[in-house]
Each structure stands twice: as structure tokens, then as C-alpha cells.
Amino acid sequence: MKLGHVLILICLIFSLNSFGIEQPAIIKAYCEKLDKSFKKYGWEKSQCEDFNWLHYRNSVLGDPLMWTTFGDVSDEDLPSFKDKDVTIVMCGVHGDEITPIKFCFDLMYYLRDAYSPENKDSKLREEFKNKVVLVSPLVNPDSFFKKRPTRVNARGIDPNRNFPTSDWMLEARKIWLQKFKKEPRRNPGLKPNSEPEVIFQVNLIKRFNPDKIVSVHSPLTVLDYDGPMHPVNGGADGGKAQELLIQMSKDADGYNIKDYPFFPGSLGNWAGQERNIPTYTLELPSSDARKNAEYWSLFKGAMHKVIVHNVRQQDVAKSPVPDEIPSVENSRLKPN
């Protein structure tokens, strides 16, 4: 082949790739399933294949558990990454909570535009400087892709009751057996951290050591906070974290703030209470798929504030996420 032909071929390949991101087969198939679900709920196409996905682990039934990143993580293994303000947002933990999944995609569309090199808004660029956002829009795909979506995963276990909290061994199954009378929707499993959807979340949090986490659910119509109340050694300033909670409420027309108790095996318990990572649970008002635009409009400003608000103590280096916390017997009970 002549040199000129080679150059033309290279240019053609580059041009074709510039129109979209070449995705692995497993992600292409996942995106096709997602678009079918979006169509079923009356939503526009997900644009799933237009995002750069990271994926190392699959669900019980083989769908990729993945996330996409906004902001510069090229220095992830360098000391400079500790200076970056990292936010993790997760949706679709319970597949029958439909609206959070579309909410996360709406957030992704917003962040894609905000972080685009073509964005000429200098104020926005300055606000998002040194900010990193990781979004996992569908943590529990097996439950969402069912004909009738469920709360539990393919093994019948609630991903928000299976985190390896220090009180899990003592209390998780006891509470499920005695208080909830083996209610299938709240099954914590036979042992903690047994489910791929939970291992995925735990590993994501340990890897990126976020300054704050937002988990989006429905339909309880509340904002809830788990985390430090005061400055923590090598961690967040609890006062700043609670200021963010109040600001989120204000930006969402005075959305109801409620301090729910928490359960053994829940994200709020594992990340917020035990590891002092400010963890916010946003409960949308319903799982009515027709309300998605209304909910994004209501919380767009609040989610922007989550990303730009600094909850870290000034001039304090961030400590890594601890692996284990000493076992305890007491825990409050949280509904999600």
C-alpha cells in the first residue's frame, strides 16, 4: 500500500472515531438494553455509548458495573490527586426506583457540557477547577432490566443492606429476621460484602477516596445526611458538610431534610458513619418515570452546589479510606 493511501486510511479512521467512542462489546450490548428501557419509560435515548466508561466487574447476570469520570484523574496515583475535590454520585442501587437512573444521566449530560473544552463560561470553568466527579448511573442493572424491576439483585439480596459495616455480623440478619420477618426486599444476605454490586461500590470509594458521596433514591421526598458532625482528623469538616446539606435544600425549594436512622449494611452507615465521608441520600419524590424532567429541574442547582462546595478542612491532608472499623453492637435504623 502506498504511503498516500496509508495516510488517507488513518485520516478516515480518525474521522470515524471522532463521531463517537468505540465501546467494548459488553458495553455496547448494555447500552442497547438501556436504550430499550429508556424507550419503555418514554425517555429519549440514553446516549450511553457517547460516554467514556470504566468497568472491571460484572453483575450477577453479567452486565457491566461501570462509572464515568468528569475532570482530570490522570494524576490518580500521584500526591497531587489528594488536593482534588472528588464527588461520587450513584443511582440505580434499587432497580425499582426508576427516576434516579434518569436523574444520573441528566447529571451526566450537564457535566459533559460543563467540562467540555468548548464551554466558554469562564465562571463555570473556575468553579469546576480541581473538581472530579464520578457517576455510576446504574449500580444494580440486574434488578432494573427485569420485566418488573425489583429492589434486590439477581440473588435476591438488597445491595443497601450488604455493606461490610462493623455491626453487620451482630445485627444485620437479626434485624431482618426479627424486625422485618424475612421481608424479601430487605434481605441482607448470608455474609457482608458478598454481592458484586456492593463490592463495586466499596472498591470505587476506596480507590478514589471521595470528599463526598451522593446516593440517589426514591420515593421518600427527603434529603438525609450521614457523616461527621465536627472536623475529623485527616478528613472532612462536619460543619461544612452540614452547610452543604442545608444549601442543597435551599436550592431545591426548601426540600425536606430528615435525619433518618441507619441500618447495618447500608452505604450511609459504612461510608458516612464509620468512615466519616459526608454521604448524602437524595430521595426523589416518586418513581414515576414521567416526572424525570421535573426532578432534574428541581435539583440541578443543588447538584451543582454538591460539586463545587468544599467540605474539607483547610490545609489538612486527606487520609485514605480505612479497610475495617472495630465491631460495634449499636446502630440506628435507616429506611433505605
Q: In this structure, is residue 8 part of a structural domain?
A: no
pLDDT above 60 for 98: yes
Instruction: Decide: 224 and 255 in contact? Cβ < 8 Å.
Output: no
Q: In this structure, is residue 5 part of a structural domain?
A: no
Tallying the residues shown for the chain, one arrives at: 336
Q: In this structure, is residue 128 part of a structural domain?
A: yes
Domain residues for 295? 24-308
Confidence of residue 278 (pLDDT cuts 50, 70, 90): very high
pLDDT above 90 for 21: no
Give the integer Cα–Cα distance in Å for 34 and 65. 13
Q: What pLDDT was estimated at residue 322?
A: 83
Residue 11 Cα distances to 8, 15, 52, angstroms: 5, 6, 22
pLDDT above 70 for 118: yes
CA dihedral 228, 232, 235, 241 (to 10 degrees): 40
Q: What pLDDT was estimated at residue 19?
A: 41
Residue 64 Cα distances to 33, 50, 138, 151, angstroms: 12, 16, 10, 18
Instruction: Decide: 57 and 200 in contact? Cβ < 8 Å.
Output: yes
Q: In this structure, is residue 180 part of a structural domain?
A: yes
pLDDT above 90 for 94: yes
How many domains does the chain divide into? 1
Q: What pLDDT was estimated at residue 18?
A: 35
Ranking 148-152, 200-204, 259-263, 281-285 by mean pLDDT, the lowest is 259-263
Give the integer Cα–Cα distance in Å for 62 and 41. 23
The CATH number of the domain holding residue 281 is 3.40.630.10
Q: What is the per-residue pLDDT across 155-191, written as a single tens digit (0 to 9) for each? A: 999 999 999 999 999 999 999 999 999 999 999 999 9
Q: What pLDDT was estimated at residue 12?
A: 35
Q: In this structure, is residue 32 part of a structural domain?
A: yes
Q: In this structure, is residue 142 part of a structural domain?
A: yes
pLDDT above 90 for 10: no
Sheet holding 222-226, edge to edge: 53-58, 64-70, 131-136, 85-90, 212-217, 279-283, 222-226
Look up the pTM and report it: 0.90
Q: In this structure, is residue 329 part of a structural domain?
A: no
Q: In this structure, is residue 134 part of a structural domain?
A: yes
Give the integer Cα–Cα distance in Å for 273 and 167. 12
Of residues 329 and 149, more confidence is placed in 149
